[in-house]
């Protein structure tokens, strides 16, 4: 299942990149995130592996994140794996002029077993979640950019 979304952020790419890449900021725009733990590698760099734990309405979801490619401040890509499937994710950051940044996210989800069929029922809610996360990050940057 492929998803795509984009948002314009009222901050330059360097600011967006810095705030996006700081794991201490994740919980500010991903409210169900409980913890992030670096497993191996250098945080934010290719081949870094982290464990992310989310509380999804009382259900613990553990994701293994592997950064596959990064080029500051243009893009970062990675894979996310859990017991129900995996996703290949690419985040691109483009200069939108006037100290604005266009964040374009691409998600390509693959599901295991029966989840392949069940996931089709949740496509719309998954898209809404992606968009809500992106909007929360945009709002977080707007609030922080004025203070930096």
* Each residue's pLDDT tens digit, 96-133: 999 999 999 999 999 888 777 777 778 898 999 999 99
**Residue of higher predicted confidence among 125 and 48:** 48
How many angstroms separate the CA atoms of 130 and 125, rounded? 9
The model's pLDDT over 5-31, given as tens digits with 9 standing for 90+, comes to: 999 999 999 999 999 999 999 999 999
Does residue 134 contact residue 105 with C-beta atoms inside 8 Å? yes
**pLDDT on residue 113:** 83
State the average pLDDT for the chain: 93
Percentage, residues of the chain above pLDDT 70:
98
Does residue 111 contact residue 122 with C-beta atoms inside 8 Å? no
Q: What's domain 2-145's superfamily in CATH?
A: START domain (3.30.530.20)
Please tell me the number of Cα atoms within 13 Å of 143 on its side-chain side.
9
Provide the residue ranges of all domains of the chain, joining segments of one domain with +.
2-145
Percentage, residues of the chain above pLDDT 90:
84
SS3 breakdown of the chain: % helix, strand, coil, rounded to 5? Answer: 30, 45, 20
pLDDT at 2 over 80: yes
Torsion sign over Cα 43, 148, 103, 127: positive
Torsion angles phi and psi, residue 60, rounded to 5: -75, 130
**pLDDT on residue 128:** 95
**Residue of higher predicted confidence among 57 and 116:** 57
Given pLDDT bands bounded at 50, 70 and 90, which one contains residue 51?
Answer: very high
């Amino acid at each position: 299942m492929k998803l795509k979304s984009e948002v314009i952020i009222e901050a330059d790419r360097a600011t967006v990149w810095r705030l996006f890449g700081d794991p201490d900021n994740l919980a500010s725009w991903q409210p169900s995130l409980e913890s992030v733990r670096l497993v191996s590698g250098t945080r934010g760099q290719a081949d870094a592996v982290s464990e992310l734990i989310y509380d999804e309405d009382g259900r613990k979801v553990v994701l293994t994140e592997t950064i596959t490619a990064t080029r500051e401040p243009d893009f970062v890509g990675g894979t996310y794996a859990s017991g129900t499937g995996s996703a290949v994710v690419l985040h691109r950051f483009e200069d939108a002029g006037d100290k604005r940044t266009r964040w374009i996210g691409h998600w390509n989800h693959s599901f295991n077993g029966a989840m392949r069929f069940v996931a089709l029922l949740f496509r719309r809610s998954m898209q809404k979640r992606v968009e809500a996360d992106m909007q929360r990050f945009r709002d977080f940057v707007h609030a922080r950019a004025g203070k930096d």
